[in-house]
Structure 1
Amino acid sequence: MIQRLALLPALALLSACAVLEPRYERPALPVPGQWPAASLPAQGKPTLPEWQAFYADDKLRALITLALEENRDLRVAAINIERARALYRIQRAERLPAIDAAAAGNIQGVTPRGGDESVERTYTAGLNLAAFEIDFFGRVRGLSRSALQQYLATEDARDSAQISLISEVAAAYITYAGDLELLALAQRTLDAQDQSLTLTQRRFEEGVSSQLDVYRAQTIVETARADAARYTRFVAQDENALALLLGAPVPEELRPTTIDAVTFGVAELPPGLPSDVLLDRPDIRQSEHLLRSANADVGAARAAFFPSVTIAGFAGETDSQFENLFAGVSGQFWNFTPQLNLPIFRGGALRGQLGAANADRDIAVAQYERAIQVAFREVADALAARATLGDELAARQSLANAAGGSYQISEARYREGVDSYLGLLDAQRELYTAQQGLVTARVARATNFVTLYKVLGGGAQE
């Protein structure tokens, strides 16, 4: 009889060809076909280097490697993949019959009135087919496909988290280097202007300068002192931010020095076409997988309106002696239990479930389109900034050079008594401000290059 039960799984796998899941069609891109204000020609899919080749700074590469190993957010993203894979396996298992080995015993005593007690023993052992739904209308398959898309979405979420983490580490490293330069500039200015203040006080004591010159000299000294304290605080906060991204303290030998030390393996990045860039970004792929999952849920909700067929069965051996079950001398028996369930009245629950599934799919469509629009803006903003930051950096460099020349001339004219100290003070302030602006512009350009690499989809797990 066990051989007969072996036919049940084959019968259970038979299903009709009815497909109630809506045909999936990828929504059209809700963005233009070209980047606005792109400084480089967009042609086809951009070829981006791996992050190890993009970041040429050895220290930065080592920090990124450390972050990929220790960052807790990325670790959670990886664990989410394992969880989604396990849930998918559970749901996929619903498409196959569950067969268990089972053994049971029944001991029953009967004592008739005025008679002796009699004991009946029955032992059974065999294979049990639990109630299994034959998926005629694709309800179970739809739920399985939905779980698969959820699993694939978590993989893309992990890749997206890696891209974000790499860019965040690089941006924090660049900001750290920039604040270190600004701190050094403030300290140099403080030392130089402190000497100038001492000289001005001496000239005042000798009757050459006025008390007003002393006060004016003190203003730039205190400005530099306040900046030194501020950038000292920023440097400490930058290190804390970088340590959080790394998931570990920043090693002393891997701390940045200057902006110039942050180098890249390429000079430019091709922007590509929006359709090639956006659809290949992990966050967009994740959003589309969630849309496919919602679409599969609609099919499962539709199938719930139709009849469901379940089967169950058992085949094995029975005997009054337990030891005879496995000796080949016991009796055999089997049973087969098909069941048909036809929804008649559910109080509108099934229609409500279908309505919710349709609404979830519409929400997923809107979220998918929104994700594409956000990604388009990110790339467009990065390209627009890239097109102007080079000019700004060149202008800041020229401004710093001009301010340095002006300060040297103003200092010479003041010492010769040609100009007042007010002119020298203005030149000092202009030079200090121009040098700060130059450092800030260098930080902005390097950070923009990192951002452009990120929004184009660079840095995903290979």
Structure 2
Amino acid sequence: MTTNNYSWRGWAAIAACALLLGSCKVPQATKAKENKYTPNSYAGAAEPAQVDSTNIGNLSWRTFFNDPQLVSLIDTALKNNQELRITLQELEIAKNDILLRKGALKPKVDIRAGGGIEKVGRYTSQGAGDASTEIRPGHEMPDPLGDLTLGAYANWEIDVWKKLKDAEQAAVNRYLASVEGKNFVLSSLIAEVANSYFELLALDNQLEIIRQNIKLQENALEVVKIQKESARVTELAVQKFTAEVAKTKGMEFSTLQQIKETENRINFLLGRYPQTIERDQNSFVNLVPASVKTGFPSQLLGNRPDIMQAEHELAAAKLDVQVARKEFYPSIGLSAGVGLQAFKPSFLFKLPESLLYNLAGELAAPLINKNAITAEFNSANARQIQAIYNYERTILNAYTEVSTQLSNIDNLEKGFAYKSQEVAALNKSIEVSNDLFKSARADYLEVLTTQREVLEAKLELLETKKQQLSAVVNVYKALGGGWKP
């Protein structure tokens, strides 16, 4: 008997050692490090000596935008926008995944109740044994035999290698990445509403300029008709002016359609059906873009939601590699059960005869076929490297966006100054050309050309102003502004 016990323990020790040895040779994870380097200043920004830590990206959107009607539109968009609501549900999904991972760390306990009936052949070992068994003197085992069970059962994988804890922490990082993803949607939504609002104001002023030009052209047409009657010009001049008036009127209706489309786009962002957008249409050209303070490029790492999202995704990917690596290690599981079992309801609660319990431990590890685990580890490792490159790319993209918009703001400011001079000069040329035409010192083509140039210059001035305002909004978003309360 002693020999048998020794033999059993020996074989158990050999099997445990085989499991451990088979699990010890695990591949190494790639030791790649992300590059968080950013230049000391933005290309196209002020000189480094003039740069300080003041950053408009730290301002809340209510402080940054001072138009009360725009603030009201953004407020409505944040409450009703469907894309933002979809993103919020993704947060709930990520939060539930954390609960799922936490649950794996705890024992799984089930309560079970069941019943059944079994009829075995009398001429079998079990049937013959039941036939000779008496429950009490004079009462044989019933045939068929019932089976009633009521008990609690538990299973628990002991997290020796912190594999389950790493999986939980990876889920936490993915939740945090989802939070930053929501913040990025928030920032993008605010910028899109603001840009569309400024586009709408520009179109309103464009429509006003077109209508003013139509009146100017119609007056010129009347002068040409009078001069034709006095034989100072021909029918060709009348038709040229008539065509120019028709062309400008066509632009009026094209602009009206653009206004409607822009209003509908804003309403869509606000999550409501098409309706008139309240706005102040006056003095658009005189609007002064907000002052831009960029701070240091390193502030992007803490301000830009997409960078922080990529950082959390990278942390989750690193933990996924550790989880996949620990799949090569042996796992230890415990199972236990306690309850009542009997073949008749009247016997079910008779103790200790109906009492059942069990307790078992299990050590399991991959021994021969590890291809599936190796493949999952290699995939997790590749996803980690992808996350590193994605993180670096996101930082590079953020810096490039800010640099591009700063250069854009500077060039638009200079272009707007010269365009304003052009419009002022052309406005004077309108009066001069009309006077010269009336005194027969200029022909009708010069008047037509001047009117056309004035209209084009004014529309280009409006477009430049809209681009200026949009560039400031875009740099505000690029610096990480908009999502902070």
| Greater shift in the superposed pair: 239-248 or 73-82 | 239-248
Preserved CA contact (<8 Å) 1:308 1:340: yes
Q: Structure 1 residues 104 and 422, CA, compared in 2 at 3 Å: closer, same or farther?
A: closer
The superposition leaves residues 65-89 of structure 1 with CA deviations (integer Å, 9 ceiling, x where unpaired) of 1111221111111111011111221
Shift of residue 312, structure 1, vs aligned partner: 0.9
Aligned counterpart, 1:260: 284
Aligned counterpart, 1:98: 108
Q: Structure 1 residues 252 and 236, CA, compared in 2 at 3 Å: closer, same or farther?
A: closer
State the one-letter code of the partner of 2:452: R
Aligned counterpart, 1:364: 387
Q: Give yes or no for the alignment of 1:133 onto 2:143.
A: no
Q: Distance in 1 between matches of 2:99 and 2:444?
A: 80
State the one-letter code of the partner of 1:51: W
Q: Distance in 1 between matches of 2:39 and 2:307?
A: 16
Preserved CA contact (<8 Å) 2:70 2:194: yes
Q: Secondary structure at the match of 1:346?
A: coil
TM-score by length of 2: 0.83
| Greater shift in the superposed pair: 444-453 or 40-49 | 40-49
State the one-letter code of the partner of 1:92: K
The superposition leaves residues 311-351 of structure 1 with CA deviations (integer Å, 9 ceiling, x where unpaired) of 11112344566467668776544211111112112252222
Preserved CA contact (<8 Å) 2:154 2:335: yes
Aligned counterpart, 1:33: 40
Q: Secondary structure at the match of 2:284?
A: helix
Aligned counterpart, 2:83: 73
Q: Distance in 2 between matches of 1:329 and 1:349?
A: 47
Aligned counterpart, 2:73: 63
Aligned ranges for residues 365-444 of structure 1 at < 5 Å? 365-444=388-467
Preserved CA contact (<8 Å) 2:336 2:358: yes
| Greater shift in the superposed pair: 52-61 or 222-231 | 222-231
Shift of residue 32, structure 1, vs aligned partner: 2.5
Aligned ranges for residues 202-213 of structure 1 at < 5 Å? 202-213=226-237
Q: Structure 1 residues 263 and 209, CA, compared in 2 at 3 Å: closer, same or farther?
A: closer
The superposition leaves residues 134-191 of structure 1 with CA deviations (integer Å, 9 ceiling, x where unpaired) of 1222322222222221111111111100110111011111111111211221122122
Preserved CA contact (<8 Å) 1:102 1:126: yes
Q: Structure 1 residues 423 and 94, CA, compared in 2 at 3 Å: closer, same or farther?
A: same
Q: Distance in 2 between matches of 1:117 and 1:135?
A: 46
Shift of residue 51, structure 1, vs aligned partner: 0.9
Shift of residue 293, structure 1, vs aligned partner: 1.2
State the one-letter code of the partner of 2:51: A
Q: Distance in 2 between matches of 1:254 and 1:216?
A: 39
Q: Structure 1 residues 260 and 38, CA, compared in 2 at 3 Å: closer, same or farther?
A: same
Greater C-alpha radius of gyration: 2
Shift of residue 403, structure 1, vs aligned partner: 0.9
RMSD: 2.9
Aligned residues: 443
Match among 305, 315, 326 for residue 338 of structure 2: 315
Aligned counterpart, 2:53: 44
| Greater shift in the superposed pair: 150-159 or 188-197 | 188-197
The superposition leaves residues 274-315 of structure 1 with CA deviations (integer Å, 9 ceiling, x where unpaired) of 111244211111111111111111001110111111111112
Preserved CA contact (<8 Å) 1:56 1:263: no
Q: Distance in 2 between matches of 1:449 and 1:169?
A: 14
TM-score by length of 1: 0.87
Aligned ranges for residues 77-226 of structure 1 at < 5 Å? 77-105=87-115, 107-108=117-118, 112=122, 118-119=142-143, 120-121=145-146, 123-130=148-155, 132-226=156-250
Q: Distance in 1 between matches of 2:470 and 2:86?
A: 27
| Greater shift in the superposed pair: 274-283 or 304-313 | 274-283
Q: Give yes or no for the alignment of 1:281 onto 2:292.
A: no
Q: Distance in 2 between matches of 1:262 and 1:365?
A: 46
Preserved CA contact (<8 Å) 2:263 2:276: no
Q: Distance in 2 between matches of 1:39 and 1:204?
A: 60
Q: Structure 1 residues 246 and 372, CA, compared in 2 at 3 Å: closer, same or farther?
A: same
Determine what percentage of the aligned residue pairs are the same residue.
25
Q: Secondary structure at the match of 1:38?
A: coil
| Greater shift in the superposed pair: 451-460 or 114-123 | 114-123
Preserved CA contact (<8 Å) 2:202 2:466: yes
Aligned counterpart, 2:17: none
Q: Secondary structure at the match of 1:236?
A: helix
